[in-house]
Amino acid sequence: MIGRALLGLAFAVLAAIGSSGSARAADDYTLPFYDPAITLSYGVDRDARSCRQRDWTNKLWYDCSLHYGRVYDGHTGMDYPMALTSPVAASRDGTVIDRYTGYGTQQFGTYGNFVLVSHADGRRTLYYHLAHDGAHVSVGQAVTAGQLIADSGCSGQCYGAHLHWEMRAVVGGRWTFVDPIYLRLFTTNPGRVPFLASYRRESNAGTEVIPQYATVTHWVEFLNTGGRAWQRAVSRGRTYLATWSPAGHASTFAAADWPSTWVATTVDQASVPPNSVGRFTFGLRASAAPGSYVERFDLLANGLHWFDWSRLGSFYIPIYVISHQVE
Ligand SMILES: [Zn+2]
């Protein structure tokens, strides 16, 4: 028999965060607010060239346009729209090393009112456009992850109420902004990376034998080992199976229940919390000529709501298509 499901996720995560340390150690930053309805409007532009914008999926946009939900040119942080004077939380334990709170709540300048926090891993986080008198911590004060540190506003260079949250690190000997989404440094569950999965089992542990023009039902189960719930809703961390290697490819085994010819299915459950098993049920239709095939699938997570994107692992299904005139 051919070997079964393969997962490369551990390697992918380690590659994403660098050669030292573990995924767990790197995943220490919570979102800088409490309201789960708050979405990110723009992320960090990781390409310094003018009109070349690289988003957290590593996609490079060759234009000068705004890419809502992803990036805009030259942006150094992440923008979270929120009403004026909404609570802002520290995203990790640390020490306040700078702040300003004397501007008005809505007034031009640059950063406006801000709080800058230094963390034990050598990174800093910056919270700006805060409200007048919106910084509730003082320089030298220790803060903990999730602690209320400020009220949001629209001070500085701000054209609509939002929090600009920025992560900085020393790169090449100098402080610069980095992208916490791309580095997979966010979670809603401290100490765990946002999306991880571990293969468990599937309906047919051998090979699917499918009469030509017939459809069989196949399911596969993965354990959610990450810090975020899997969802069916597109904007909230949708977790789905696709034939994707890496560009989407239309499968000859796409059945009528597939959302497209390359997206096989989303997770069956409305929500799969951390440490729970998610099942993915989908059809396989043998419209190909009789013969031996292997169809490969990837488990993907893509949530604009939490502004994350991950490839969690892959597996494949050996398929034998036999003549529909079964003997
Ligand atoms: Zn911003």
Are residue 74 and residue 149 in the same domain, yes or no?
yes
Question: Does residue 10 lie in a domain region?
Answer: no
The rounded Å distance from CA 200 to ligand 1 centre is: 41
The rounded Å distance from CA 306 to ligand 1 centre is: 17
Is the pTM above the cut of 0.75? no
Question: Does residue 269 lie in a domain region?
Answer: yes
Question: Does residue 94 lie in a domain region?
Answer: yes
Distance of alpha carbon 146 from alpha carbon 32, whole angstroms: 7
Are residue 67 and residue 177 in the same domain, yes or no?
yes
Are residue 284 and residue 307 in the same domain, yes or no?
yes
Distance of alpha carbon 319 from alpha carbon 77, whole angstroms: 47
The rounded Å distance from CA 164 to ligand 1 centre is: 4
pLDDT in tens, the chain (327 residues): 333 443 333 333 333 332 222 233 344 688 888 776 777 789 899 999 999 999 887 889 999 999 887 899 999 999 999 999 999 999 888 999 999 999 999 987 788 999 999 999 999 999 999 999 999 999 999 998 888 999 999 999 898 999 999 999 999 999 999 998 888 787 666 546 667 899 999 998 889 999 999 999 999 999 998 777 888 887 667 899 999 765 678 999 999 999 999 999 999 999 998 899 999 999 999 999 999 999 999 998 876 555 555 678 889 999 999 997 655
Residues 6+ apart with CB under 8 A from 31: 38, 89, 91, 186, 188, 306
Question: Does residue 7 lie in a domain region?
Answer: no
Look up the domain containing 113 and give its range.
28-183
Are residue 126 and residue 245 in the same domain, yes or no?
no
Closest CA to 146 of 104, 222, 92, 99: 92
The rounded Å distance from CA 268 to ligand 1 centre is: 36
CB 179 within 8 A of CB 17: no
Are residue 46 and residue 146 in the same domain, yes or no?
yes
List CB-based neighbours of ion ligand 1 within 5 Å.
Answer: 77, 79, 164
Helix (H, G, I), strand (E, B) or coil at 281: strand
The rounded Å distance from CA 29 to ligand 1 centre is: 18
Are residue 39 and residue 158 in the same domain, yes or no?
yes
Are residue 164 and residue 227 in the same domain, yes or no?
no
Looking up residue 71, the CATH number of its domain turns out to be 2.70.70.10
Q: Which two tokens stand for residue 234?
A: 């597109």
Q: Taking the CB of residue 283, how many other CB atoms lie within 10 A of it?
A: 17
Are residue 33 and residue 128 in the same domain, yes or no?
yes
The rounded Å distance from CA 302 to ligand 1 centre is: 22
The rounded Å distance from CA 127 to ligand 1 centre is: 10
CB 253 within 8 A of CB 228: no
CB 181 within 8 A of CB 43: yes
The rounded Å distance from CA 75 to ligand 1 centre is: 6
Are residue 109 and residue 153 in the same domain, yes or no?
yes
CB 274 within 8 A of CB 229: yes
What is the number of structural domains in the chain? Answer: 2
Are residue 113 and residue 221 in the same domain, yes or no?
no
The rounded Å distance from CA 111 to ligand 1 centre is: 9
One-letter amino acid at 168 equals R
The rounded Å distance from CA 98 to ligand 1 centre is: 19
CB 322 within 8 A of CB 209: yes
Domain end (from 183, 212, 243) = 183
The rounded Å distance from CA 44 to ligand 1 centre is: 8
Question: Does residue 19 lie in a domain region?
Answer: no
The rounded Å distance from CA 49 to ligand 1 centre is: 18
